Amino acid sequence: MEPTGQRGRGRGIRGGAAAGVRAGQQPDWKPTGNGQGDAAGGAPATNVPAVATAPRNGAAGGGGGDARANQQVGRGALRASRYLPEVVVTRAPNAPSKQGVRGKQIVLKTNYFRLTRAENMCVFQYRIDFDPLIENVGLVCALIKTQAPVLGPYIFEGTMLFLYNKLRSEELELQVRDPRTEHLYKMKIRHAGTVDMQSTMGLMILNLMQRQAMNSLQLLVMNRHHFDPKAKISIPQYNLELYPGYITSIRQHEKDVLLCVELTHRVLRTDTVYKMLNDQRNVPGSYKENFKRTIIGSVVMCTYNSKSYKITDVDFNTTPSSSFSKKDGGSITFMQYFKDTYNVTIRDPMQPMLVSTPTMRMQRSGITTPILLVPELCRMTGITDAMRKDFNLMRSIADHTRIGADLRLERLDQFNRRLQETTACREVFNFWKTELDRRVVELPARILDSEIVMMSKEVPVGFEADWNNAFRNNQMFKSISLKRWFLVCEASKQSMVQEFITTMMKVAPPMGFQLAKPEIATVPNDSPQAYAQVLQQLVNRDPQLIMCVVSNDRADRYSAIKKKCCVDRAVPTQVIKARTIGNPRSLMTVATKVVIQLNCKLGGVPWVTRNPMKDIVILGYDVCHDARDKSKSYGAVTATMFGTDPQDPRQFSTVEHHDKGEELSNFMSATVAKVLRAYQREFGPDRLPRRFLVYRDGVGDGQLKQVVDHEVKAIKARLDAAYVDYQPHKPQLCVIVVSKRINSRLFFNGRNPPTGTVVDDVITLPERTDFFLVSQSTRQGTVSPTSYNIIFNEMGLTTDQLQTYTYRQTLMYYNWCGGVGVPAVCQYAHKLAFLVSQYIHQQPNEQLEKCLYYL
Q: Which residues are catalytic?
A: 622, 663, 697, 830
Distance CA 779, CA 404 (A): 9
| Neighbouring-strand partners of residue 693 | 618, 734
In angstroms, what is the C-alpha Rg of the chain? 29
Contact 471, 594 (CB under 8 A): no
Q: How far is the C-alpha of 439 from the C-alpha of 489, rounded, in Å?
A: 59
Phi-psi region of 511 (alpha: psi -120 to 50; beta: other; left: phi over 0): alpha
Judge whether 186 and 102 are in contact, CB under 8 Å. no
Alpha carbons 545 and 346: distance in angstroms, whole number: 58
Rounded CA separation 818/822 (Å): 12
Q: How far is CA 71 from CA 65, 200, 393, in A?
A: 9, 11, 54
First-residue to last-residue Cα distance in the chain: 9
Distances in Å between the Cα of 403 and the Cα atoms of 7, 399, 748, 779 are 20, 8, 15, 11
Q: How many residues does the chain have?
A: 855
- Are 624 and 658 contacting, i.e. CB atoms less than 8 angstroms apart? no
Strands 691-696, 732-739: parallel, antiparallel or unpaired by DSSP? Answer: parallel
Torsion region of 152: left, alpha or beta (phi above 0 gives left; psi -120 to 50 gives alpha): left
Give the C-alpha separation, 483 to 412, whole Å: 57
**Closest Cα partner for 812 from 647, 636, 598, 589?**
647
Distance CA 763, CA 259 (A): 10
Backbone angles phi, psi at 276, to 5 degrees: -60, -40
* Distance (Å, whole) CA 833 – CA 838: 8
Instruction: Decide if 200 contacts 84 (C-beta within 8 A).
Output: yes
Rounded to whole angstroms, the Cα distance separating 771 from 753 reads 15
Cis-peptide, bond into residue 132, ω within 30° of zero: yes
> What are the beta bridge partners of residue 735?
694, 792
C-alpha of 737 from chain center? 14
62: left (phi over 0), alpha (psi -120 to 50) or beta: left
Burial class (CB in 10 A: 0-12, 13-18, 19+), 637: buried
Side chain identity, residue 536: Q
Largest Cα span, the chain? 90
| Residue 213 identity | A
CB 754 within 8 A of CB 435: no
Chain centroid, CA 204 distance in Å: 23
Helix H or strand E segment including 718: helix 712-722
Host H or E run for residue 194: strand 184-196
CA separation for the pair 252, 787 (Å, rounded)? 16
Helix (H) or strand (E) holding 353: strand 353-356
Q: What is the DSSP secondary-structure string of 264-292?
A: EEEEEEEEEHHHHHHHHTTSSS-HHHHHH
